[in-house]
Chains A and B, each alone.
Chain A
Amino acid sequence: MTHGEMGMVFGMLLKYRELHGNPVDRPARENEVEAVRYLTNCSSADLLDFDEFLEAQGFTLTTVEAFNLGIPPKAGKDNMVFLLTRRRTDSMAPYVNTKWFIEQMRDDRGNTKTAKKAELTFWLARMWLTLQWFFYQKDSRATSSLPGYRMAVVSESHFIEVLERGIESMLKKGRPDGDAGYMWDVLNDSKSSISRYARKFLKIMLDSGMIQSAGNPGEYRQSLLAAVEMKENQEKELAYLLPASNEEDIATQTVALLNGSTEEV
């Protein structure tokens, strides 16, 4: 792989995060097939060089054989998928904006523009976990499973419904005493914005390639990128939740997860 080809592949990966040699749900993007061919046909030394180049920016190249996702090959096409994923280290390149999602949530309309950071953070955490419930827990799918990504769907209306039910249930339980009720207060005060937050959240997830349109308006499917990242998450970030042997353990593990440590709380 020449430096020129490497640059082209890097540019494509940075823009789309996923490159498919044999895309099944959409036509191939301009230069996508060529980029996959470069990566498929280059030597292992070239691939190592490229990965080092990515590593220097806090990324890594993940390779998936599309055959292992149940996608049959087509003659003349490389049945491979290459993804640009994070290295889960603190050393991300300065051009990577870790606050991007929250910035995107603050749009120019309605309450989301003026929402306080705490409010956005609480809603985002709630919405992210709820989305994972749709993709995994609802269908009893393991978080390490990649092949099921094309069956994992969520609709805007169901998403909002589950969020609303969750808030209702939280309110019914009553406010925790003292400072512990801070999140309860914030969510209660802003519960009228559920629909707006949910729509915005799904739109940003769509823009960032974590979900894809499932063909009908308001219906989305998990992207392979999201499934690969979740597999990493469960190994690196969410491992503290497991094994979920009883409720007490889960409580402890959840806190450990959120504190990002394995120490018992």
Chain B
Amino acid sequence: MHLSFKGKVALQQEYMEQVTPNSIRLIAAVSRLLDLHQSRRESGVSTPAVPERAGYNLSVALAVLEVLHDLQMERGAGVVSVSEVFELLSSTIPSLQRDELDFCLDTLKTRRDIHYAEHTPDGEIKPRVTFNTTDLIRVVDGYDQVSLTDNAQLLLRIGGLKDEWLFNDVEAERLVKAIEREQYDRIHDFCRGLNADIAQQNSELLKILDHPSTNALRDKLVHDGAKIEQSLSLAKINVNEAIGLLSSELVIDSFNKWRHRENAKFSWSNVLSELESVLQCLEAYSRNFVKFLDTLQQARPSPVQRIDFLLAINHISSGILSEPEMTLNALLSRVLPHGIDADIFHPGFLVGEVDFRINENVTVVPAVFSLDKTGTKNTGRLWDFLNRNRAVLMDRLKQSPLRFSELVEMTGFDLLEDETPSDFFGIYTVSDHLSGEASARIVVGFTREKFKTEHDGVVVSGSDPVLVLEEIK
């Protein structure tokens, strides 16, 4: 596969992202926000230079947090001596020096300002600062004893959750809890978030099949397939439980009271429909996931097709085609969009043979329209009208096709006292009978045009079909 330099860089970056540890991805993900936090607009976009030891320092810091976390899991919350931490770390990082560890601990315990802003309901932006949410370890004053802070625990918990980012059934549990706690106003946001999340992951599945560079992620999905399927099943159980709970009389009653109390703008059925949409998404995702695993487990999945368009352009221009205009026209007629010249629709436009009446054993009853509301509206009247005026109309149609608007403006018809050419409205349904000749028939074709005319103070408006005389062979 030929790739441009940019393409190669993108590929490399993508590959790196797949193998980067979760904790590092988390740090990398917030790094630009921190850089922006430290930036001045007049100096332009800031990207700080990274010192040589950056990677080493970061790995020591994460190892410290990991060791303290493991000890806490084993022993419960408490302080740990720095010597013990050093000893434990030395087994995984043999080159670690004590002064390096001390520098790392000094950094992790130091607090710094993080500025942010709060949006008030009045549209104001109030500046805020946080200070004590930045240190990751606590050192007991005067002792070489350390422990994890709440901030570090939060970081480790989120880092651990990353393994579940593919899908977490716990998210669906929130729906049940929200109903149990009468937090009906939160359900819309939960459902919206879940649907967006599932839809995004679903399209990722489809992209992986198309994208060879995501092999690492694909392998991970296959490896974790059973776990993800189980997670999806649990999520479906949770959503079904939420739907069942919402449909119980107790909850319906509680919802109605809550709605009245809170003056909520949505109804019980709105909430139900939100939950059902989540269930539909989960089911669609589950189906696609099974399909995805099946495809990948095939002995030889179909190769992904890529086309080198630039190479194709070069070859076309290199004189390789003996009749370039003809061959390129053939290509263009197949790939470029076509136009529609559909001002008139004629049954002859149909490529195949379609007879819409084939299964309809219906006798056509002519519809008659007259501007004279008191006039007798029956088929006999239409036949009489047609018989008297057929010749005039046929003579006119022999010259050229005729629009209905032109027809009603025509003169020379033999009309009774209460008749007008508008009585020709009837020919929409009995156009075949109007012709009266075995060798020709009148076809009514529909057009996009509209017409408007006035007879005796009555405005008549409608679509403007075109009448065509067709020879019968």
Contacts and interface: CB of A to CB of B under 8 A. Distances in A.
A234 B307 contact: yes
A47 interface: no
Interface string B351-367: 11110100000000000
Contacts of B325: 117-118, 121-122
B218 to A, nearest CB: 14
A37 interface: no
Interface in B190-207: 191-192, 195-196, 198-200, 202-203, 206-207
A247 to B, nearest CB: 7
A255 B203 contact: no
Contacts of A170: 314, 317
Given A94-B349, A129-B309, A176 B332 contact: no
Interface string B306-334: 11111111111111110011011111111
Contacts of A91: 351-352
A140 B288 contact: no
Contacts of A72: 192, 195-196, 198-200, 281
A184 B206 contact: no
A174 to B, nearest CB: 10
Interface string A133-157: 1001111111111111000000000
Contacts of A215: none
A1 interface: no
A132 B333 contact: no
B317 A244 contact: no
A128 B335 CA distance: 9
A193 interface: no
A62 interface: no
B280 interface: yes
27 contacts: A52-B354, A56-B351, A68-B206, A70-B199, A73-B280, A92-B351, A94-B348, A96-B341, A97-B339, A98-B333, A100-B337, A126-B313, A126-B317, A133-B309, A136-B309, A142-B306, A144-B304, A173-B318, A176-B318, A182-B319, A205-B337, A209-B337, A241-B308, A242-B306, A250-B312, A254-B312, A258-B316
The 10 A-B pairs of least Cβ separation, nearest first, read: A100-B339, A180-B319, A70-B203, A176-B319, A72-B195, A208-B337, A56-B352, A97-B339, A72-B199, A133-B309
A56 B350 contact: yes
A258 B328 contact: yes
Contact of B319 (A56, A147, A183, A229): A183
A230 B469 CA distance: 42
A138 B245 CA distance: 50
Interface stretch (B3-11, B27-35, B107-115, B426-434): B3-11
B71 to A, nearest CB: 43
A24 B277 CA distance: 17
Given A103-B339, A138-B7, A143 B321 contact: no
A251 interface: yes
Contacts of A238: 307
Interface string A44-68: 0000000011011110000001011
Contacts of B304: 142, 144
A68 B199 CA distance: 7
Chain B interface SS verdict (over half): helix
A124 interface: yes
B351 A93 contact: yes
B274 A183 contact: no
Given A14-B342, A72-B281, A137-B307, A182 B324 contact: yes
B325 to A, nearest CB: 5
B305 A57 contact: no
B317 A184 contact: yes
Given A75-B270, A121-B329, A144-B210, A242 B307 contact: yes
B184 interface: no
The size bracket of the interface on A is: 35 or more
A65 B351 contact: no
Contacts of A176: 318-319
Given A140-B306, A144-B210, A241-B312, A97 B203 contact: no
B316 A142 contact: no
B303 interface: yes
Nearest to B330: A260
B12 interface: no
Given A70-B199, A209-B337, A237-B335, A250 B328 contact: no
A254 B349 contact: no
Given A136-B307, A142-B210, A184-B317, A65 B273 contact: no
Interface string A89-126: 00111111111111110000000000001100110111
B313 A55 contact: no
B277 A74 contact: yes
A96 B331 contact: no
B306 A130 contact: no
Contacts of A210: 337
Given A121-B328, A140-B306, A251 B339 contact: no
B354 A56 contact: yes
